[in-house]
Amino acid sequence: MQIHTTIASLRQAIASGSGTLGLVPTMGALHEGHLSLVRAARSQCGRVVASLFVNPTQFGPNEDFSRYPRTFERDCQLFEQAGVDLLFAPQPEEMYPHGPADPNRTFVEVPGISERLDGHFRPGHLRAVASVVAKLFHIVSPDFAYFGQKDAAQVATIRAMVRDLNFPLHVMVCPTVRDPDGLALSSRNRYLTTEQRTQALALSRALALISTAVSEGIHEVPTLVANLTSAIRSSPGLRFEYAEIVDPDTLEPIANLKRGALVAVAAYLGNTRLIDNMVLPPMQPIAVQTTAQEVSA
């Protein structure tokens, strides 16, 4: 695996090779969720580029940028074992020559979507995500880019950006990877104490509760949202942030489940913010049985 810290050297390495190119953007602190993206890229592409960049612009002023886990040596080993060919690991000054706080820096913004779900509670976060991902797309020029379903608001933002700006690539969204007990994998899970780790399971249990309710025929969105909110608010240790059922593409609230839905939740455990979600498939219409007499009439 080649490691590149500058845009120029990465571009030169990409230009010297050939074959379908897959990109896996990450902020490091790798877990099995990241590695599942690498393996998906490896199975579909001739060459795999991963990025490892803790992007300062997508952290709010009171968030965890300074303490975000940085495990570079371990990450490099895991990337290489999973099949990455080229690793792009720039410093902030390489990505932001005039500094990440430069007020005149160009941004990419997806109006509407970037202010919903995580974008509502973390102002500017999804704009920063769209901007850095657009830079990576421009630098790497991948054929495919791989993202995890757990970051559903990011996925919706990036899909819209790719569509609206005509990026010549395919956005591939891979399933959320979970621990055996159901907790969605996250680099921030390492912040949790043993007790908080147990309490965090309330998020996946709340989603399972909604999945069961839908399978039993409860399709009224207000009822489902109320049940979802109640399940999280009543869970010990959790500080509720949001529980919503929305269109997975626009992140707008929906009135029914006919076309499918994204069920998304967020809460804090101490100072650690956790998110989780699931995608409900489109609801099949209920077959109406008719009697022979009704047909003949």
Q: Is 82 left (phi over 0), alpha (psi -120 to 50) or beta?
A: alpha
Closest CA to 159 of 258, 43, 250: 250
Quick check: is 125 catalytic?
Answer: no
Q: Are strands 21-26 and 144-148 parallel, antiparallel or unpaired?
A: parallel
DSSP letters spanning 72-104:
HHHHHHHHHHHT-SEEE---HHHH-TT-TT-TT
Closest CA to 164 of 105, 104, 249: 249
Q: Side chain identity at 273, as an amino acid letter? A: R
- Distance between CA 261 and CA 170 in Å, rounded? 22
Closest CA to 31 of 149, 184, 180: 184
Q: Which of 34, 98, 120, 138 is catalytic?
A: 34
Which residue carries 């599942």 as its tokens? 36
- Distance between CA 68 and CA 73 in Å, rounded? 15
Dihedral sign, Cα of residue 190, residue 265, residue 146, residue 54 = negative
CB 110 within 8 Å of CB 155: no
- Which residues are known to be catalytic? 34
